[in-house]
């Protein structure tokens, strides 16, 4: 499936000053791992209060794109603005101030295994507001845990709770400092359908009521179309399609249609010979 | 070969960068209003120091026995059996105490630090920490390094006494020496320089072991297998560095 990334890239303004509403702007982001271009010129803009959904096949570079956005890695080329500051140029100290407005949910949850769930959520609060009395911290932790339905598990260590519970606890931690920007890497993977709906409603509520801007990586199409106000579809490190949910649904590329409908990628093989040639052939 | 060499220098430069970063967070940042994490420091001092006492005692006790028996053979020939105490004391204080303690710490605590930090790296915990605006060097490395640097000399001193006690047992019960004479000779021969050179060595070894352990933990790459590989590398590098720096320090103290 040979997509033409040019068409999608052109729909986005290439450069120029960032608009007053633009919270996240990525311009020609290129990331190279061992000579492999995992991200190959990614462009997009996200406005305040929007929910950007990043989709794409497994291994197409979604988590890598997220790592560039939150400044854990420096892209080889390209520039990224977050909330008005160009994070690809900031020093470590300047970046800390930007990071205070972040909440990040990692694909693996990344809870601190040496601490209880409650302490995990309390950690960012204690560190950034060292003078808060313990009582206040306690109440804030309870509030965040109740958002994700984890209040009664706050005394357990991460090793003692299930995968989905870890995700929810990690989400509570990401929300601990009431972030203005929320980055989630596959937040709904491993959750049951009720929890998925709850997560979607929580995200929508945060964005509508509190003006949070969210970037969500997901494989779940129902969830994606429910929360997304802007979507980008990655393929082999390039932007394959970008736009509002309606635009994505009506995208002319048959590959995009196939992806969002979840249809198999290739036609049924005709004979054993061509199948063998396919898997053994020049790769 | 050139690639190995390049990789070696890459390791050295990034280790030096991490080390200077550690120095900044340990000694300069407290003046910029970044509080030292005292609770973590005490926790690490317990893990590294207190929990290592028994094994340091054991190793040093046997070392004392061995040293007394080995030296007795030679000293007997020149009729100096009374000097066993002094010999054990000086050898252990200047050389064997700091080195053996550091090797025990490298195997027991250095490996644990690398494995712990490496697992955190693999589980994205270090990334999560960074995105929360918490500096992993400040949070994780400084308490561990300071704890080891504080505890290693203490352990060394305790271990030295244990080795001297081992030597005393041999001296009194196998060589039929006077029980009091052993201690008098020991403290007579022990000079102040022996004590401070031993302590300086101990501090240097602890700095190396803890920083190497943290460095190899931070650079872990590639899952559980990577953690194992890094832990081995950490212990091997620590031991080589202990002995190499021991050589340099001994030369330094010999010539001044
Ligand atoms: N540290 C690394 N070193 C080398 N290559 C890497 C590294 N991390 C990721 N990659 C490569 O980058 C590509 C994109 O990885 P990424 O984790 O971004 O995928 P993804 O889109 O998040 O997939 P998934 O949906 O399965 O999480 C993969 O092909 C992977 O092999
Ligand atoms: Mg991923």
| Between residues B33 and A146, the one the model is more confident about | A146
Q: Report the range out of A39-53, A239-253, B232-246 with the highest average pLDDT.
A: B232-246
Dmax of chain B from CA atoms? 69
Please give the angle made by the CA atoms of A183, A188 and A194, to the nearest 5 degrees.
130
Q: Determine whether the interchain pair A112/B128 forms a contact, defined as Cβ–Cβ distance below 8 Å.
A: yes
pLDDT of residue B140: 94
CA distance B38 to B176: 50
The predicted-structure confidence for B120-170, as pLDDT tens digits, reads as follows 999 999 999 988 888 899 999 999 999 999 999 999 999 999 999 999 999
Answer whether residue B114 is part of any domain.
yes
This prediction has a pTM of: 0.86
Kindly state whether residue B33 falls inside one of the protein's structural domains: no
The SS3 call for residue A24 is strand
Enclosing domain of residue B163: 38-250
Q: Do A124 and B131 make contact, defined as CB atoms within 8 angstroms? A: no
Structural contact between residues B218 and B121, judged by C-beta atoms closer than 8 angstroms: yes
- pLDDT band, very low/low/confident/very high, at A3 (cuts 50, 70, 90): very low
Return all residues near B29 (Cβ < 8 A) that are at least 6 apart.
Answer: B138
Closest CA to B105 of B207, B249, B223: B207
For the stretch A188-243, pLDDT in tens is: 888 888 888 888 888 888 888 888 899 999 888 888 898 989 999 988 888 888 88
Has residue A13 got a pLDDT over 80?
no
Q: Check CB contact of B32 with chain A, cutoff 8 Å.
A: no
Percent of chain B with pLDDT over 70: 100
- Does B221 reach chain A within 8 Å, measured CB to CB? no
Domain contains B168? yes
Vertex A100 angle, CA A94 and A105, to 5°: 120
Burial tier of A221 (Cβ tally within 10 Å: 0-12, 13-18, 19+): middle
If you measure CA to CA, which chain B residue comes closest to A71?
B131
pLDDT of B249 higher than 70? yes
Structure confidence by residue, pLDDT tens digits, B191-203: 999 999 999 999 9
Mean pLDDT of B240-244: 96
Pick the more confident residue, A216 or A21: A216
Q: Is A236 in the pocket of ligand 1 (CB under 6 A)?
A: no
pLDDT at A89: 83
Distance CA A70, CA B247 (A): 46
Residue A162 exposed, middle or buried by CB count within 10 Å (0-12, 13-18, 19+):
exposed
Q: Ligand 1: which residue has its CA nearest to atom 9?
A: A64
Cβ(A35) – ligand 1 distance below 6 Å: no
Question: What value does the mean pLDDT take over residues B218-247?
Answer: 94
> Has residue B172 got a pLDDT over 90?
yes
Please report which confidence band the pLDDT of residue B14 belongs to, taking 50, 70 and 90 as the band edges: very high
- pLDDT score for A8: 39
What total of structural domains would you count in chain B? 1
Q: What is the largest CA-CA distance in chain A?
A: 72
Q: What are B174's strand-pairing partners?
A: none
DSSP 8-state class, residue A158: G
Higher per-residue pLDDT: A128 or B105:
B105
What spacing in Å lies between the alpha carbon of B48 and ligand 2's midpoint? Answer: 37
What residue ranges define each of the domains in chain A, with the CATH number in brackets?
Answer: 8-101+179-261 (3.40.50.300)
Q: Is residue B79 part of a domain?
A: yes
Query: Given this model, what pLDDT does residue A2 score?
Result: 41
Are the beta carbons of A127 and B127 separated by less than 8 Å?
no
- Give the Cα separation of B98 and B199 in Å (integer): 7
- What is the per-residue pLDDT for A268? 56
Q: What separation in angstroms does the CA of B171 have from each of A192, B74, B96, B160, B189?
A: 73, 14, 19, 16, 16
Indicate if ligand 1 lies below 6 Å from the C-beta of A59. yes
pLDDT in tens, B92-118: 999 999 999 999 999 999 999 999 999
pLDDT of A261: 82
Model pLDDT, residue A12: 43
Q: Residue with structure tokens 């490298």?
A: B106
ipTM above 0.85, yes or no: no
B74 assigned to some structural domain = yes
A9 touches chain B (CB under 8 A): no
pLDDT reading at B71 higher than 70: yes
Q: Is residue B119 part of a domain?
A: yes
**pLDDT at residue A155 greater than cutoff 80:** yes
Out of A99, A108, A112, the one facing B131 most closely (by C-beta) is A99
Q: How far is the CA of A53 from the centre of ligand 2 (A)?
A: 13
Give the model's confidence band at A266: pLDDT under 50 very low, under 70 low, under 90 confident, else very high: low
Residue A231's DSSP bridge partners are: A53, A243
Compute CA distances A45 → A71, A214, B59, whole Å. Answer: 17, 12, 63
Q: Ligand 1 in contact with A58 (CB < 6 A)?
A: yes
pLDDT given at position B223: 87
Assess whether pLDDT exceeds 80 at residue B54: yes
Which among A46, A5, A75 has a CA at the least distance from the CA of A212? A46
CA B231 to chain centre: 16
* B165 within a domain of the structure (yes/no): yes
- The stretches of chain A forming alpha helices (DSSP H) are 5-11, 62-69, 92-99, 117-128, 134-147, 163-174, 193-210, 221-227, 245-249, 254-261, 272-280
Phi/psi zone of residue B123: left (φ > 0), alpha (ψ -120 to 50 degrees), beta?
alpha
Query: Does residue A282 have a pLDDT over 70?
Result: no
Q: Do residues B154 and B49 make contact, with C-beta atoms less than 8 angstroms apart?
A: yes
Torsion of CA A143, A145, A147, A150, to 10 degrees: -140
């Amino acid at each position: 499936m040979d997509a033409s990334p040019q068409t999608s890239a052109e729909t986005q303004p290439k450069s120029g000053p960032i608009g007053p509403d633009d919270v996240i702007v990525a311009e020609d982001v290129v990331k190279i791992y061992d000579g492999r271009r995992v991200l190959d010129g990614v462009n997009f803009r996200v406005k305040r209060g929007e929910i950007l959904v990043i989709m794409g096949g497994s291994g197409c570079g979604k988590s890598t794109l997220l790592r560039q956005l939150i400044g854990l890695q420096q892209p080889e080329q390209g520039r990224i603005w977050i909330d008005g500051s160009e994070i690809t140029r900031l020093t470590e100290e300047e970046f800390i101030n930007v990071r205070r407005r972040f909440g990040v949910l990692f694909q693996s949850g990344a809870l601190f295994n040496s601490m209880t769930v409650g302490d995990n959520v309390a950690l960012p609060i204690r560190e950034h507001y060292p003078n808060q009395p313990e009582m206040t911290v306690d109440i804030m932790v309870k509030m965040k845990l109740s958002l994700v339905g984890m209040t009664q598990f706050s005394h357990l260590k991460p090793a003692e709770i299930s995968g989905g519970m870890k995700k929810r606890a990690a989400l509570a931690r990401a929300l601990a400092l009431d972030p203005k920007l929320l980055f989630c890497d596959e937040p709904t993977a491993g959750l049951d359908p009720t929890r998925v709906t709850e997560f979607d409603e929580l995200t929508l509520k945060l964005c509508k009521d509190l003006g949070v801007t969210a970037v969500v990586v997901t494989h779940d199409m129902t969830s994606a179309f429910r929360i997304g106000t802007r979507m980008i579809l990655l393929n082999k490190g390039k932007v394959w399609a970008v736009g509002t949910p309606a635009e994505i649904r009506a995208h002319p590329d048959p590959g995009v249609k196939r992806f969002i409908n979840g249809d198999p990628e290739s036609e049924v093989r005709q004979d054993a010979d061509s199948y063998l040639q396919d898997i053994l052939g020049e790769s | 070969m050139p690639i190995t060499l390049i990789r070696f220098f890459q390791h050295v430069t990034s280790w030096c960068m991490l080390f200077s970063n550690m120095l900044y967070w340990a000694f300069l940042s407290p003046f910029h209003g970044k509080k030292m994490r005292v609770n973590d420091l005490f926790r690490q001092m317990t893990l590294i120091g207190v929990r290592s006492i028994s094994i340091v005692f054991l190793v040093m006790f046997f070392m004392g026995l061995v040293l007394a028996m080995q030296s007795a053979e030679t000293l007997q020939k020149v009729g100096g059996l009374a000097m066993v105490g002094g010999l054990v004391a000086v050898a252990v204080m200047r050389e064997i105490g700091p080195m053996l303690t550091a090797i025990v710490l490298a195997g027991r605590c250095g490996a644990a630090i690398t494995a712990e930090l490496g697992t955190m790296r693999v589980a994205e915990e270090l990334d999560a920490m960074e995105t929360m605006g918490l500096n992993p060097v400040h949070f994780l490395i400084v308490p561990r390094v300071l704890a080891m640097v504080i505890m290693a000399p203490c352990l060394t001193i305790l271990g030295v006494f244990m080795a001297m006690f081992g030597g005393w047992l041999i001296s009194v019960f196998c060589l039929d020496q006077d029980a009091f004479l052993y201690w008098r000779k020991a403290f007579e021969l022990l000079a102040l320089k022996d004590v401070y050179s031993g302590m300086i060595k101990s501090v240097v070894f602890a700095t190396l072991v803890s920083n190497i352990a943290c460095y190899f933990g931070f650079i872990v790459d590639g899952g559980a297998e990577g953690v194992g590989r890094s832990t081995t590398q950490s212990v091997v590098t620590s031991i080589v560095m202990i002995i190499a720096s021991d050589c340099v320090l001994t030369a330094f103290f010999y010539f001044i």
